[in-house]
Structure 1
Protein backbone atom coordinates (compact mmCIF):
# COMPACT_ATOMS: atom_id res chain seq x y z
CA UNK A 1 0.00 0.00 0.00
CA UNK A 2 2.82 2.36 0.93
CA UNK A 3 4.55 1.70 -2.43
CA UNK A 4 1.34 2.41 -4.33
CA UNK A 5 0.91 5.74 -2.57
CA UNK A 6 4.55 6.67 -3.16
CA UNK A 7 4.25 5.68 -6.83
CA UNK A 8 1.09 7.79 -7.23
CA UNK A 9 2.74 10.78 -5.56
CA UNK A 10 5.74 10.35 -7.87
CA UNK A 11 3.53 10.29 -10.96
CA UNK A 12 1.69 13.43 -9.86
CA UNK A 13 4.99 15.20 -9.15
CA UNK A 14 6.42 14.16 -12.53
CA UNK A 15 3.34 15.34 -14.42
CA UNK A 16 3.46 18.66 -12.57
CA UNK A 17 7.07 19.16 -13.67
CA UNK A 18 6.17 18.42 -17.30
CA UNK A 19 3.16 20.77 -17.18
CA UNK A 20 5.22 23.47 -15.47
CA UNK A 21 7.66 23.45 -18.40
CA UNK A 22 5.00 24.46 -20.94
CA UNK A 23 4.00 28.09 -21.26
CA UNK A 24 0.30 28.54 -22.00
CA UNK A 25 -0.50 30.75 -25.01
CA UNK A 26 -2.06 33.36 -22.73
CA UNK A 27 1.13 33.48 -20.61
CA UNK A 28 3.63 34.04 -23.43
CA UNK A 29 5.86 37.04 -22.83
CA UNK A 30 6.99 38.93 -25.95
CA UNK A 31 9.68 41.63 -25.81
CA UNK A 32 9.30 45.01 -27.54
CA UNK A 33 10.35 43.54 -30.91
CA UNK A 34 8.12 40.47 -30.61
CA UNK A 35 10.79 37.95 -29.56
CA UNK A 36 10.15 35.24 -26.96
CA UNK A 37 13.22 34.68 -24.78
CA UNK A 38 12.33 31.32 -23.26
CA UNK A 39 11.30 28.00 -24.71
CA UNK A 40 7.54 27.51 -24.77
CA UNK A 41 7.67 23.79 -24.04
CA UNK A 42 10.58 23.53 -21.63
CA UNK A 43 12.31 21.18 -24.09
CA UNK A 44 14.60 21.56 -27.07
CA UNK A 45 13.04 21.47 -30.51
CA UNK A 46 13.50 18.59 -32.94
CA UNK A 47 14.51 19.88 -36.41
CA UNK A 48 13.19 16.75 -38.20
CA UNK A 49 9.79 17.14 -36.60
CA UNK A 50 9.89 20.85 -37.47
CA UNK A 51 10.62 19.99 -41.09
CA UNK A 52 7.55 17.74 -41.15
CA UNK A 53 5.37 20.46 -39.61
CA UNK A 54 6.63 22.98 -42.19
CA UNK A 55 5.46 20.85 -45.12
CA UNK A 56 2.31 19.20 -43.73
CA UNK A 57 -1.05 20.70 -44.66
CA UNK A 58 -2.81 19.77 -41.43
CA UNK A 59 -0.06 21.30 -39.31
CA UNK A 60 2.01 24.40 -40.03
CA UNK A 61 2.00 24.16 -43.83
CA UNK A 62 4.59 26.97 -43.91
CA UNK A 63 5.53 26.19 -47.50
CA UNK A 64 2.07 27.25 -48.65
CA UNK A 65 3.28 30.85 -48.20
CA UNK A 66 7.08 30.57 -47.98
CA UNK A 67 9.67 29.10 -50.31
CA UNK A 68 12.21 26.76 -48.74
CA UNK A 69 14.67 25.42 -51.31
CA UNK A 70 15.57 22.45 -49.10
CA UNK A 71 11.91 21.34 -49.27
CA UNK A 72 11.63 21.68 -53.06
CA UNK A 73 10.58 18.01 -53.36
CA UNK A 74 7.28 18.99 -51.76
CA UNK A 75 4.87 20.82 -54.09
CA UNK A 76 3.05 24.12 -53.89
CA UNK A 77 5.55 26.54 -52.38
CA UNK A 78 4.06 29.96 -51.98
CA UNK A 79 5.51 33.37 -52.61
CA UNK A 80 3.24 35.39 -50.31
CA UNK A 81 5.80 35.42 -47.48
CA UNK A 82 9.55 35.84 -47.79
CA UNK A 83 11.80 32.94 -48.70
CA UNK A 84 13.01 31.15 -45.61
CA UNK A 85 16.34 30.20 -47.17
CA UNK A 86 19.05 31.57 -44.88
CA UNK A 87 16.55 32.60 -42.19
CA UNK A 88 18.92 31.40 -39.43
CA UNK A 89 21.35 34.14 -40.43
CA UNK A 90 18.68 36.84 -40.25
CA UNK A 91 16.88 36.01 -37.01
CA UNK A 92 17.81 34.57 -33.60
CA UNK A 93 16.01 31.62 -32.02
CA UNK A 94 14.13 34.04 -29.76
CA UNK A 95 13.01 36.18 -32.71
CA UNK A 96 11.97 33.14 -34.75
CA UNK A 97 10.02 31.75 -31.78
CA UNK A 98 8.11 35.03 -31.52
CA UNK A 99 7.43 35.19 -35.26
CA UNK A 100 6.14 31.61 -35.44
CA UNK A 101 4.05 31.98 -32.25
CA UNK A 102 2.44 35.29 -33.29
CA UNK A 103 4.06 37.19 -36.16
CA UNK A 104 1.83 40.24 -35.54
CA UNK A 105 3.93 41.02 -32.47
CA UNK A 106 6.90 41.66 -34.82
CA UNK A 107 5.10 42.61 -38.04
CA UNK A 108 1.71 44.19 -37.17
CA UNK A 109 0.47 44.16 -40.78
CA UNK A 110 1.46 40.58 -41.61
CA UNK A 111 -0.98 38.06 -43.07
CA UNK A 112 0.81 35.22 -41.29
CA UNK A 113 -1.44 33.40 -38.81
CA UNK A 114 -0.62 33.27 -35.12
CA UNK A 115 0.27 29.65 -34.50
CA UNK A 116 0.30 29.91 -30.68
CA UNK A 117 -2.63 32.12 -29.82
CA UNK A 118 -5.98 31.13 -28.32
CA UNK A 119 -7.97 34.31 -27.84
CA UNK A 120 -8.78 37.68 -29.35
CA UNK A 121 -10.16 36.31 -32.61
CA UNK A 122 -12.99 37.89 -34.59
CA UNK A 123 -15.60 35.21 -35.17
CA UNK A 124 -17.96 36.14 -37.99
CA UNK A 125 -19.35 32.58 -38.17
CA UNK A 126 -22.43 33.33 -36.08
CA UNK A 127 -23.50 36.01 -38.55
CA UNK A 128 -23.22 33.55 -41.44
CA UNK A 129 -23.73 30.04 -40.11
CA UNK A 130 -24.51 30.35 -36.42
CA UNK A 131 -21.70 27.89 -35.76
CA UNK A 132 -18.81 30.02 -34.53
CA UNK A 133 -16.73 28.35 -31.85
CA UNK A 134 -17.33 29.64 -28.35
CA UNK A 135 -14.69 30.26 -25.69
CA UNK A 136 -10.96 29.87 -26.00
CA UNK A 137 -9.68 28.10 -29.11
CA UNK A 138 -6.82 25.62 -29.25
CA UNK A 139 -3.59 27.00 -30.74
CA UNK A 140 -2.80 25.90 -34.29
CA UNK A 141 0.47 24.36 -33.08
CA UNK A 142 1.48 23.10 -29.63
CA UNK A 143 4.32 24.63 -27.64
CA UNK A 144 6.59 21.73 -28.63
CA UNK A 145 5.63 22.04 -32.30
CA UNK A 146 6.61 25.73 -32.18
CA UNK A 147 9.99 24.71 -30.73
CA UNK A 148 10.38 22.04 -33.43
CA UNK A 149 9.71 24.55 -36.23
CA UNK A 150 12.19 27.01 -34.70
CA UNK A 151 14.81 24.23 -34.45
CA UNK A 152 14.32 23.44 -38.14
CA UNK A 153 14.43 27.12 -39.16
CA UNK A 154 17.75 27.44 -37.33
CA UNK A 155 19.21 24.84 -39.73
CA UNK A 156 18.43 27.06 -42.74
CA UNK A 157 21.71 28.93 -43.12
CA UNK A 158 23.13 30.73 -46.16
CA UNK A 159 25.51 28.57 -48.12
Structure 2
Protein backbone atom coordinates (compact mmCIF):
# COMPACT_ATOMS: atom_id res chain seq x y z
CA UNK A 1 0.00 0.00 0.00
CA UNK A 2 2.80 2.41 0.89
CA UNK A 3 4.48 1.59 -2.41
CA UNK A 4 1.35 2.61 -4.36
CA UNK A 5 1.06 5.85 -2.38
CA UNK A 6 4.72 6.65 -3.08
CA UNK A 7 4.20 5.98 -6.79
CA UNK A 8 1.15 8.23 -6.82
CA UNK A 9 3.06 11.05 -5.11
CA UNK A 10 5.95 10.70 -7.55
CA UNK A 11 3.56 10.73 -10.50
CA UNK A 12 1.87 13.88 -9.17
CA UNK A 13 5.23 15.61 -8.67
CA UNK A 14 6.34 14.64 -12.16
CA UNK A 15 3.11 16.01 -13.66
CA UNK A 16 3.52 19.26 -11.71
CA UNK A 17 7.14 19.66 -12.78
CA UNK A 18 6.30 19.11 -16.44
CA UNK A 19 3.56 21.75 -16.26
CA UNK A 20 5.91 24.39 -14.83
CA UNK A 21 7.63 26.67 -17.34
CA UNK A 22 11.35 26.27 -17.75
CA UNK A 23 13.63 29.06 -16.62
CA UNK A 24 13.75 31.69 -19.35
CA UNK A 25 16.66 33.82 -20.44
CA UNK A 26 16.21 37.31 -21.78
CA UNK A 27 16.97 37.20 -25.50
CA UNK A 28 19.73 39.60 -26.61
CA UNK A 29 17.30 41.67 -28.69
CA UNK A 30 14.98 42.04 -25.64
CA UNK A 31 17.59 43.40 -23.22
CA UNK A 32 16.51 46.73 -21.69
CA UNK A 33 19.48 49.07 -21.25
CA UNK A 34 19.25 52.07 -18.93
CA UNK A 35 20.29 55.59 -19.88
CA UNK A 36 23.99 54.94 -19.18
CA UNK A 37 24.06 51.34 -20.39
CA UNK A 38 23.15 49.52 -17.19
CA UNK A 39 20.88 46.46 -17.22
CA UNK A 40 18.85 46.23 -14.01
CA UNK A 41 17.19 42.86 -14.63
CA UNK A 42 19.33 39.70 -14.65
CA UNK A 43 19.51 38.01 -18.05
CA UNK A 44 18.91 34.57 -16.56
CA UNK A 45 16.60 33.20 -13.87
CA UNK A 46 19.58 31.38 -12.34
CA UNK A 47 21.93 33.37 -10.12
CA UNK A 48 25.46 33.82 -11.42
CA UNK A 49 28.22 31.52 -10.17
CA UNK A 50 31.45 33.42 -9.40
CA UNK A 51 33.59 30.28 -9.81
CA UNK A 52 32.24 29.67 -13.30
CA UNK A 53 32.68 33.37 -14.04
CA UNK A 54 36.35 33.16 -13.06
CA UNK A 55 36.76 30.26 -15.50
CA UNK A 56 35.06 32.20 -18.31
CA UNK A 57 37.34 35.20 -17.58
CA UNK A 58 40.43 33.12 -18.35
CA UNK A 59 39.01 30.77 -20.99
CA UNK A 60 40.28 31.69 -24.44
CA UNK A 61 37.39 29.75 -25.98
CA UNK A 62 34.60 31.73 -24.34
CA UNK A 63 34.99 35.04 -22.51
CA UNK A 64 38.73 35.50 -22.96
CA UNK A 65 38.54 38.64 -20.80
CA UNK A 66 42.16 37.92 -19.87
CA UNK A 67 43.26 38.90 -23.38
CA UNK A 68 42.54 42.57 -22.61
CA UNK A 69 42.18 42.84 -18.82
CA UNK A 70 44.42 42.00 -15.86
CA UNK A 71 43.60 41.03 -12.29
CA UNK A 72 46.48 41.16 -9.80
CA UNK A 73 45.68 37.95 -7.94
CA UNK A 74 45.19 35.88 -11.12
CA UNK A 75 48.75 34.69 -11.58
CA UNK A 76 47.23 31.45 -12.94
CA UNK A 77 45.98 33.39 -15.98
CA UNK A 78 49.03 33.73 -18.18
CA UNK A 79 49.59 36.66 -20.52
CA UNK A 80 47.03 39.04 -19.07
CA UNK A 81 46.25 41.96 -21.36
CA UNK A 82 46.66 45.66 -20.82
CA UNK A 83 44.37 47.03 -23.55
CA UNK A 84 41.42 47.31 -21.18
CA UNK A 85 41.45 48.61 -17.62
CA UNK A 86 42.62 46.36 -14.80
CA UNK A 87 39.66 44.69 -13.15
CA UNK A 88 41.00 44.88 -9.59
CA UNK A 89 38.22 46.47 -7.53
CA UNK A 90 35.60 46.12 -10.30
CA UNK A 91 33.04 45.10 -7.67
CA UNK A 92 33.63 48.41 -5.87
CA UNK A 93 33.66 50.60 -9.01
CA UNK A 94 30.44 49.31 -10.57
CA UNK A 95 27.25 47.74 -9.25
CA UNK A 96 25.83 44.55 -10.79
CA UNK A 97 23.50 46.42 -13.19
CA UNK A 98 26.42 48.45 -14.51
CA UNK A 99 28.65 45.37 -14.82
CA UNK A 100 25.86 43.52 -16.64
CA UNK A 101 25.56 46.37 -19.14
CA UNK A 102 29.32 46.61 -19.68
CA UNK A 103 29.69 42.87 -20.31
CA UNK A 104 26.58 42.66 -22.52
CA UNK A 105 27.52 45.68 -24.67
CA UNK A 106 30.25 48.00 -23.36
CA UNK A 107 29.61 50.57 -26.09
CA UNK A 108 26.30 51.52 -24.42
CA UNK A 109 28.34 52.77 -21.43
CA UNK A 110 31.66 53.61 -23.09
CA UNK A 111 30.99 54.51 -26.76
CA UNK A 112 34.70 54.52 -27.66
CA UNK A 113 35.37 51.13 -26.06
CA UNK A 114 37.10 48.41 -28.08
CA UNK A 115 35.45 45.75 -25.92
CA UNK A 116 33.14 43.46 -27.87
CA UNK A 117 29.49 43.15 -26.93
CA UNK A 118 29.31 39.70 -25.37
CA UNK A 119 25.49 39.51 -25.40
CA UNK A 120 24.30 41.06 -28.62
CA UNK A 121 23.33 39.68 -32.01
CA UNK A 122 23.21 42.74 -34.25
CA UNK A 123 24.61 46.24 -34.64
CA UNK A 124 28.18 45.14 -35.27
CA UNK A 125 30.61 47.34 -37.19
CA UNK A 126 32.37 44.63 -39.21
CA UNK A 127 31.43 41.10 -38.24
CA UNK A 128 33.37 38.32 -39.88
CA UNK A 129 32.23 34.81 -40.70
CA UNK A 130 34.64 32.77 -38.56
CA UNK A 131 37.98 32.41 -40.36
CA UNK A 132 36.61 32.55 -43.91
CA UNK A 133 37.40 36.20 -44.62
CA UNK A 134 33.74 36.71 -45.58
CA UNK A 135 31.46 39.21 -43.92
CA UNK A 136 29.11 37.72 -41.39
CA UNK A 137 25.36 38.19 -41.64
CA UNK A 138 23.21 39.29 -38.75
CA UNK A 139 21.77 38.14 -36.50
CA UNK A 140 24.89 36.50 -35.15
CA UNK A 141 24.88 34.29 -32.05
CA UNK A 142 25.98 36.09 -28.87
CA UNK A 143 29.55 35.42 -27.70
CA UNK A 144 28.30 34.36 -24.25
CA UNK A 145 24.99 32.91 -23.11
CA UNK A 146 22.78 34.80 -20.69
CA UNK A 147 23.93 32.47 -17.89
CA UNK A 148 27.61 32.97 -18.75
CA UNK A 149 27.12 36.75 -18.58
CA UNK A 150 25.54 36.36 -15.14
CA UNK A 151 28.44 34.12 -14.05
CA UNK A 152 30.99 36.73 -15.17
CA UNK A 153 29.04 39.48 -13.34
CA UNK A 154 29.01 37.37 -10.17
CA UNK A 155 32.78 36.95 -10.44
CA UNK A 156 33.49 40.62 -11.16
CA UNK A 157 31.29 41.63 -8.21
CA UNK A 158 33.67 39.70 -5.89
CA UNK A 159 36.67 41.79 -6.99
CA UNK A 160 36.91 44.31 -4.17
CA UNK A 161 39.75 46.65 -3.24
Report the TM-score when normalising by structure 2.
Answer: 0.83
1:106 aligns with 2:109: yes
Correspondence list, 1:79-118, <5 A: 79-118=82-121
In the alignment, which residue of structure 1 is the partner of 2:23? 18
* RMSD over aligned Cα atoms: 2.3
SS in 1 for 2:155: helix
Query: Does the CA contact (< 8 Å) of 2:121 and 2:138 recur in 1?
Result: no
Match of residue 71, structure 2, among 47, 52, 68: 68
> When you count helix as a share of all residues, which structure comes out higher?
1
- Larger-gyration structure (1/2): 2
CA distance in 1, matches of 2:139, 2:16: 31
Structure 1 residue runs of 5 or longer lacking an equivalent are none
Name which of 46, 57, 72 aligns with 2:60. Answer: 57
Given the two structures, how large is their TM-score scaled by the length of structure 1? 0.84
Residue in 1 that maps onto 2:81:
78
Select between 86-95 and 133-142 the one with higher mean Cα deviation.
133-142
User: Could you say what secondary structure the match of 1:51 adopts?
Assistant: helix
Give structure 2 stretches of 5+ with no counterpart: 1-10
- Runs of 4 or more off by more than 6 Å in structure 1? none
Report the number of matched residues. Answer: 149
